[in-house]
A and B are shown apart, each in its own frame.
Chain A
Amino acid sequence: MQTIDIKDLRFSYHTEEETGKPHEVLRGVSMSIDKGSYVAVLGPNGSGKSTLAKLIDILETPDSGTIVIFGNDSADTEKFWDIRSKCACVFQNPDNQIVGTVVEEDVAFGPENLGVPNPELRERVDRALKAVGLYEKRFMQAANLSGGQKQKLAIAGALAMKPDILILDEATAMLDPVSRREFLTLIEDIRDRHGITVITITHDMEEAARCEKIFVIRDGVIAGSGTPTEVFSDRVLIHDSGLDRPVHYKFVTACHEQLGMDPEGGSDLNDEKASAELVAHMILNADDSGEIEDEEPVQKEDTPSGESIVQIRDLSFNYDEGSFKLQDIDLDIYRSEILAIIGKSGCGKTTLISHLNALISPMHGQVLIKKGEETLDASVKKDVRKIRTAVGLLFQYPEYQLFEETVYKDVEYGLKKMGIPEEERPEMIREAIRLVGLPDDVINKSPFEISGGQKRRVAMAGVLVMKPEILVLDEPASGMDPKGRREMFKLIRSLRRKGNTIVLVTHNMDEGAAIADRVCCIGDGRILSVADPTELFRDSGKCREMGIDIPKITAFSQKVKDIISGELPGIEFGEIYFDARKEVRSIRRAVRTYREAHNA
């Protein structure tokens, strides 16, 4: 069988570290990938995953070690173009890989470089565009496509080169869940039809679970590999590599821990349906007479006060041509709550939060913000400055707004603009740096030489330093690895404990639901619902009717509950949770109550 064989691969970047040594990214990677297989490479940020992808496509050359692709050694200069033309890449940022201005011109870029002559070139371009569903848009300007469409365009550009290998380097990281699902379905469909070997580098565990084999890279070496079932069952590996496990694995583990039963052999844990059945049967068949511990009540300091700090009344916003971006928005935000605003790309989330900070002044309706005894009105010009200090707003990828020579100066910028006297600033800046969990010594570094995660925290500090009561965060964890995401949400929770009111914009239902006190769902510029997530997602059928995505954990739990309902007709399930352990306990409680009632 033909394979991609990688042996003892080493690579370092020639940027010098402080120690004077070159920065070694890969430190002896060996792996073997079968032709036609579907492989995921997981690992924390900076572990060397992207470098590995570049080495396979000979976009970089290794310091030592060999890569043999289907019998061709990549060090062989005669095979260079052969290998590169058979290996296509889709990268993370949709904008930075489009060369052509018009859709079809961009698709043609690859085969044009290969020197494909004209009737065939045209045919390849058309076929690739049809395969990704962009044929109707072939004369459109590439810059006007949506993010998801741009990534599809990148696939088309890759397909037109007729590759044997397709490498996806965090290709779904910047997409919303809907586009992400479409993208993956498309990739899998293409793989089925053309037998292309697909290597996907990702932070999305559900995406990895769809593959045939997973490699985990950590600190430049392969820390583990195997089928998804093998890798995700290895909890030590997952934990040490800062990864996460898909929801259904967590359920099985929770059952195992609570019921002391080993999962029956023969079930395919990686298959959601099979694991739902497994979980249901474990709960039903268990000798479950032991105590089920109650969930600890929500901590008092975490409960919102119920005092409305922002009032949005009858707010509408439309573009010049008359199409509505926001329509009849009525929303209260309560002091020290976490409110998640959830909706698909382009639904008006960003427009809504821009009103909170008076970046957009209300066209129709009112936005009132309480600060101390005052009530500020976003449409009154003299209040705008005060509103901007009362409401801190952080857009997606805020690290792109850093500009100063040092972190200190960058964080200071807002204070300077607010006219805070110079002698008060150092203490405030240090406090903000500490608040976002950065070490003190970062203060004198350049914001361009620290890591991506740290940059984002510096940008947050730059807003927090103005001591806003309300903090609006637009996708604060986007592009981060699972560990980074967890830390970011921990930080958000700790900010709330310190009294901040937080508005969190996200398209990740799971994270939104798990952290928020209330969830506000927006669709097509209107509020679909504002509710406590446990209330909202309890009725998953109704959510679907309203066009609201439900969290993966709730969807999986629903499958388990459906199976149990089949066995125990008329069973009623209680409270829902966004934590596998708690959710399993909740189901167990429901089963016990049902049985007690029926045995009596």
Chain B
Amino acid sequence: MLKDISLGRFYDTGSILHRTDPRVKMILYIIYLIAIFMIKTPTALALIALITFIQLIVARIPLKVIKNTVVPILPLVVFIFILNVISLTSGKVLWEWWIITVTDVGIERAVLMALRIIFLIMSTSVLLTLTTTPLKISDGLESLFSPLKVIKVPVHEMSMMMSIALRFIPTLIKETNKIMRAQVSRGADYDTGGLVNRMKGYITVLIPLFVSSFKRAEELAVAMDARCYRGGVGKTKLNPLKITGKDILLALIFTSAAAGVVAVDFILR
């Protein structure tokens, strides 16, 4: 069950998008984030979908992988959809029952929000998690936020914590599965029963997982110490971030695409 979550999992195809500077990708990501939340018209949404698929093709990521990132958040999408449908009561009433009113405006808004969430997840995966190693993401963040060091924000430490957290996701998923199997063989059942019972059942997984995580943290700290870790001071980089002409070109192309979509949206409104 848990093994299907591909959040935080790098999927290497060696494409141009994989080799692009993480800072460029992050800025592009912010641009797309803004674009996705600015547009409203179906045409613009279709265009964003098209661009996302072009990005997928450029990154050479198979649809199966992207499906695995989108499917787990579908319950959330449905939830947001329903929330939007019932909370907006303006417009023409289509259906009414007790306190629930469904209107055309409500449905329109709900569809828009649901699509936005899906595009958001897809962009996050394509531009960041699937095409960028966690270490590069944290390198990129460290570099982008490095001006904050002046006001004593521990930028290096924060990016280190993040990259270690991401590095341990697959390890902890494996461990969770192992513990679950062990408890199931002692008679635990995680799939039946009411919600409360199921939550209670997960205690048998969470406590061992916490205990072993603390042990891991302790051992990792010793291992990092042994390898002379002393914070960001004087640290060099094997693969220093460098923005090349290709990066700039890619940034320009995708930024103008996003700008184009937003412009189309404004014209059609």
Where the two chains meet, the residues of A that have a C-beta atom closer than 8 Å to any C-beta of B are 54, 57, 59, 81, 84-85, 87-89, 91, 93, 95-102, 104-105, 108-118, 121-122, 125, 139, 141-144, 157, 161, 354, 357, 359, 385, 388-389, 392-395, 398, 400-403, 413-414, 417-418, 448, 462-463, 466
Measured CA separation A277–B243 after assembly (Å): 67
- B148 in contact (CB, < 8 A): no
Residues of chain A contacted by B222 (CB below 8 angstroms): 54, 59, 91
- Name the segment of B51-59, B119-127, B159-167, B253-261 touching the other chain: B159-167
Residues of chain B contacted by A108 (CB below 8 angstroms): 237-238
Residues of chain B contacted by A116 (CB below 8 angstroms): 236
Residues of chain B contacted by A99 (CB below 8 angstroms): 164, 167, 220, 223-224, 227
Q: Which one of A110, A143, A388 contacts B187 once the chains associate, using CB atoms below 8 Å? A: A388
Residues of chain A contacted by B228 (CB below 8 angstroms): 81, 84-85, 110, 113-114, 161
Residues of chain A contacted by B10 (CB below 8 angstroms): 101-102, 141
Q: Are B240 and A109 in contact (CB under 8 A)?
A: no
Q: Are B186 and A403 in contact (CB under 8 A)?
A: no
The 5 closest A-B pairs by CB, nearest first: A417-B187, A108-B238, A97-B223, A403-B207, A96-B219
**A-B contacts besides A96-B220, A112-B238, A161-B228, 20 pairs, CB < 8 Å:** A57-B226, A81-B228, A84-B228, A95-B216, A96-B223, A100-B167, A101-B134, A105-B238, A110-B227, A110-B228, A117-B236, A121-B238, A142-B167, A143-B171, A144-B170, A161-B227, A395-B185, A400-B175, A401-B208, A414-B187
Q: Known interface pairs A85-B228, A112-B236. Does A395 touch B163 (Cβ–Cβ under 8 Å)?
A: no
Chain B interface bracket (under 10, 10 to 19, 20 to 34, 35 or more):
35 or more
Nearest chain-A residue to B237 (Cβ)?
Answer: A112
Measured CA separation A57–B226 after assembly (Å): 7
- B135 in contact (CB, < 8 A): yes
- B83 in contact (CB, < 8 A): no
Where the two chains meet, the residues of B that have a C-beta atom closer than 8 Å to any C-beta of A are 10, 12, 133-135, 163-164, 166-167, 170-171, 175, 178-179, 181-189, 203-204, 207-208, 211-212, 215-216, 219-220, 222-230, 234-240
Measured CA separation A81–B227 after assembly (Å): 10
Q: Known interface pairs A91-B223, A99-B223. Does A112 touch B239 (Cβ–Cβ under 8 Å)?
A: no
Residues of chain B contacted by A98 (CB below 8 angstroms): 167
Nearest CB on B from A53, distance (A): 9
Measured CA separation A57–B208 after assembly (Å): 31
Nearest chain-A residue to B139 (Cβ)?
Answer: A105
Measured CA separation A93–B223 after assembly (Å): 10
Residues of chain B contacted by A357 (CB below 8 angstroms): 185
Residues of chain B contacted by A85 (CB below 8 angstroms): 228
Q: Are A413 and B185 in contact (CB under 8 A)?
A: no
Q: Are A112 and B235 in contact (CB under 8 A)?
A: yes
Nearest CB on A from B207, distance (A): 4
Number of residue pairs across A and B with beta carbons under 8 Å? Answer: 153
Nearest chain-B residue to A50 (Cβ)?
Answer: B222
Nearest chain-A residue to B12 (Cβ)?
Answer: A139
Residues of chain A contacted by B211 (CB below 8 angstroms): 400, 402-403, 448
Q: Are A113 and B235 in contact (CB under 8 A)?
A: yes
Q: Are B227 and A400 in contact (CB under 8 A)?
A: no
Measured CA separation A462–B222 after assembly (Å): 33
Residues of chain B contacted by A142 (CB below 8 angstroms): 167
Interface of B, secondary structure class, is helix
Residues of chain B contacted by A88 (CB below 8 angstroms): 226-227
Nearest CB on B from A494, distance (A): 22
Measured CA separation A484–B148 after assembly (Å): 54
Measured CA separation A357–B133 after assembly (Å): 38
Residues of chain A contacted by B229 (CB below 8 angstroms): 109, 113
Measured CA separation A417–B235 after assembly (Å): 53
Nearest CB on A from B210, distance (A): 9
Q: Which one of A59, A101, A414 contacts B166 once the chains associate, using CB atoms below 8 Å? A: A101
Nearest chain-A residue to B204 (Cβ)?
Answer: A403
Q: Are B219 and A97 in contact (CB under 8 A)?
A: yes
Q: Which one of A84, A100, A144, A398 contacts B182 once the chains associate, using CB atoms below 8 Å? A: A398
Nearest CB on B from A49, distance (A): 15
Residues of chain B contacted by A466 (CB below 8 angstroms): 186-187
Q: Are B238 and A395 in contact (CB under 8 A)?
A: no
Nearest CB on A from B268, distance (A): 43
Residues of chain B contacted by A102 (CB below 8 angstroms): 10, 133, 135
Measured CA separation A98–B185 after assembly (Å): 31
Q: Known interface pairs A97-B220, A99-B164. Does A118 touch B226 (Cβ–Cβ under 8 Å)?
A: no
Q: Which one of A84, A400, A414 contacts B226 once the chains associate, using CB atoms below 8 Å? A: A84
Residues of chain B contacted by A157 (CB below 8 angstroms): 227
Q: Are A403 and B208 in contact (CB under 8 A)?
A: yes
Nearest chain-A residue to B8 (Cβ)?
Answer: A101
Q: Are A89 and B226 in contact (CB under 8 A)?
A: yes
Nearest chain-A residue to B226 (Cβ)?
Answer: A89
Nearest chain-B residue to A398 (Cβ)?
Answer: B182
Nearest CB on B from A324, distance (A): 19
Measured CA separation A59–B218 after assembly (Å): 12
A to B CB contacts below 8 Å, 6 in the list? A91-B223, A96-B216, A101-B135, A102-B10, A110-B227, A115-B236
Measured CA separation A63–B186 after assembly (Å): 45
Measured CA separation A98–B134 after assembly (Å): 14
Q: Which one of A105, A109, A385 contacts B133 once the chains associate, using CB atoms below 8 Å? A: A105
Measured CA separation A54–B240 after assembly (Å): 32
Most chain-B Cβ atoms within 10 A of its Cβ — which of A95, A117, A157? Answer: A95
Measured CA separation A230–B239 after assembly (Å): 50
Q: Are A93 and B235 in contact (CB under 8 A)?
A: no
Residues of chain A contacted by B182 (CB below 8 angstroms): 393-395, 398, 400-401
Nearest CB on A from B155, distance (A): 17
Nearest chain-A residue to B211 (Cβ)?
Answer: A448
Residues of chain A contacted by B224 (CB below 8 angstroms): 99, 109
